[in-house]
Structure 1
Amino acid sequence: MSDKISANKYAVPALERAHAVLLELSEHRGGMRLTDLSRRLGVNKSSMFCLLKTMESLGWVEKSSDDVYTLGSALAAFGSTFFRGQALIDRFYRTAVETRDRLGETIQLARLEGADVFYLAKLEAPFPVQIASEPGMRFPAHATGLGKALLATLADDEVRKRLSDPLPRLTPATIGTVTELLDELADVRRQGVAFDREEAVIGFRCAAAPVFGPDGRAVAAVSVSMPRHHWEQKRDAAVREIRALAQRLSVNANV
C-alpha cells in the first residue's frame, strides 16, 4: 500500500486508503472486520480505525452489530446519480421500457471495457426469477451476448490483443478459445445480432445488438435475456425487437 501511495507525489494518502478499503469491501460482499482490512492493506489498526470511523460518518461504509464493515448507502446514491446522469443511459430507460413490456423479458445496456462488459443499466422482467447481472458489474465479454455484439465491431487483431487462450469458462457452454470466438464473431457481423446460449449463466439465453455513436463506432450494446424455456417461443421476436432498440438508441448515442 505504501509503495502505491509514494508513487504519486500529488496523491492524498488518506483518500487512497479509503479507495482501497472500498475496493476490498466490494470484493467481499459478506463484509470485513477492521483487523482483516488492516492486514490486507498493510495499515496499522489505529489508523484503520480512524479511517473507518470517518468513512462510516460519511455513509461510505456501514458497521454491523458484530463489527463487520460493508459498503454504505451513500455509494448507492453516487452510483445512481452517475448512471442516470449519462445521456445514453437516460435514453435507454426511456426507450427500452416498450421493448421490455412487449417481450416481457429483461433488457440490459452495457459497454466494452478491455476484455469485459461493464453493465450500465437494466430493466427487469416482470417475473420472480432475476438475472444476476446489475449496473456496475462486469462479466467476461466472450461469455455474453452483449460482449460478443461489441467485440464483433472490432477487427480480429484487436480482439486478439484483448483476449488470450484459454478463455475462462463460466458454464460448460462458454467459448474456450479465441479461434472459436473469432468464428462466432464472423457470424455476428453477418447477422447483426449476437447470442448467449447459456454461456454466462446456465438456464438463461439472450440476444444482443450494438449501439453506434455519431462517428459510426460502437459505444454500447443492448440485450434481451430470458429463461431457457421462453427462448424457443420468443427467439424471433427477441431478435427483431433488440435490433430495433439498438437502432433507436444509436441516434445521437453518447456515453
Structure 2
Amino acid sequence: MPGAGGRGQSTAVPQDRPARPPVTRRVLAILAAFTPETPAMPLAEIARRAGLPPATAHRLVAELTRWGALERDERGVYRIGLRLWEVGALAPRGLGLREAAMPFLEDLYEATHENVQLAVLDGLEVVYLERISGRDAVHVFTRVGGRFDACATGVGLALLAHADRELQERAIAAPKLRRTPKTICDPGELRRVLADVRRTGVAISDGQVELVALSVAAPVFGPGDRAVAAVSVVVPSRERAALPLVPAVLAAARGISRALGAPRALRAPDSVRQSRPTP
C-alpha cells in the first residue's frame, strides 16, 4: 500500500522513456543478425545489427554462447553454434520428412547426377531441407536451411499449386522480384502456371532464377493427401531439357509420398489402371 506521500502517483513507465523490448525479442534479434552473407561477426557488429546497446548484447551473447547457440573463436568472432542446429533438426517437417525422402533423393541423383533438392513451403517462400549436388552440376543459389521466393522456383510452384486458395491468391497478388527476364511477375501468368501444375502434376521453372538453370519439380503428399514438400532436379537450361526428367522426378515424388503414407500414392497410377484388361 502506498504511503500518504505517494497517494495517486503512477508507477507506469514515463511516456518519454521507451519500453524495453522483451528479452526473447532481443535474443531473437541477435540470432537474426546472422545471415548466409554474414555467418560470422564480432560482438560490436552483432549489437549494431540487432539494434541493442553493447552491454545488453554482451550479456545476451555470453548466455547464448554458454548454452551453445553461439560459438566464439580465438579472434572473438561469433558463429551459430551446433546446439542450435540440434534443436532445429527436431522440427517435425524437417527430420521425419528428410529421412523418408533420402533414399529417393539419392536414387534421383544417381539417375541424373544433377542438383537434387527437397523443400517445404513457409508462407510465400520455400525452405530447403536437403540438397545433393554433383561436382559438374549447374550452379544454384540454394542451400540447406536457405529460403527463396516460391514463385520463382520449381519446388515453390509445385507447392503453391496445391496450397489453399487464400495462400495462392496472396502469392498471385504479391509483388515479385524480377531476377531475370523470364521471372514470372504477371498475376495472370502465374495463375495459368499454377493451373498447369495442378493439371500435369509437375512444375517447370526455366530461367526464372538464373537464365542458365532449369528446374523440374513435383509435389510430395502426406497422410492426408496434402502437399507437404516438393522434390526437384536443377539442370542446365536448354531446349527440351525438362522432358526426359519428368518421369524420374514424378517417380521420386511418388515414392516419398508413399513412404509418408499418402493415400493417393498407395493407389496405382491412372495409366496403370487404364492399361489393365477389363475382366
- Secondary structure at the aligned position of 1:55 is classed as helix
Provide the residue aligned with 1:161 in structure 2: 170
Q: Larger deviation: 72-81 or 202-211?
A: 72-81
TM-score by length of 1: 0.82
Shift of 1:172: 2.1
Q: After TM superposition, list the pairs within 5 Å mapping 1:72-221 onto structure 2.
A: 72-80=81-89, 82=91, 86-127=95-136, 129-154=138-163, 158-221=167-230
User: Is the 2:32–2:50 contact (alpha carbons within 8 Å) kept by the matching residues of 1?
Assistant: no
- Secondary structure at the aligned position of 1:173 is classed as coil
- Secondary structure at the aligned position of 1:43 is classed as coil
Quote the Cα distance in structure 2 between the aligned partners of 1:96 and 1:212.
15
Larger Rg: 2
Q: 1:2 to 1:129 in 2, by over 3 A?
A: farther
Please state if 1:238 is matched with 2:242: no
Aligned identity (percent) is: 32
Shift of 1:39: 3.7
Q: 1:241 to 1:2 in 2, by over 3 A?
A: farther
AA aligned opposite 2:62 = K
Give RMSD over aligned pairs: 2.9
Shift of 1:220: 1.0
TM-score by length of 2: 0.76
Quote the Cα distance in structure 1 between the aligned partners of 2:234 and 2:92.
21
Provide the residue aligned with 2:270 in structure 1: none
Quote the Cα distance in structure 1 between the aligned partners of 2:243 and 2:108.
14
1:48 corresponds to which of 42, 47, 57: 57
Unaligned 5+ residue runs, structure 1?
6-12
Please state if 1:24 is matched with 2:33: yes
AA aligned opposite 1:246 = A
AA aligned opposite 2:169 = R
Quote the Cα distance in structure 2 between the aligned partners of 1:85 and 1:172.
33
AA aligned opposite 2:230 = A
Q: How many residues get paired?
A: 245
Shift of 1:93: 0.8
AA aligned opposite 2:225 = G
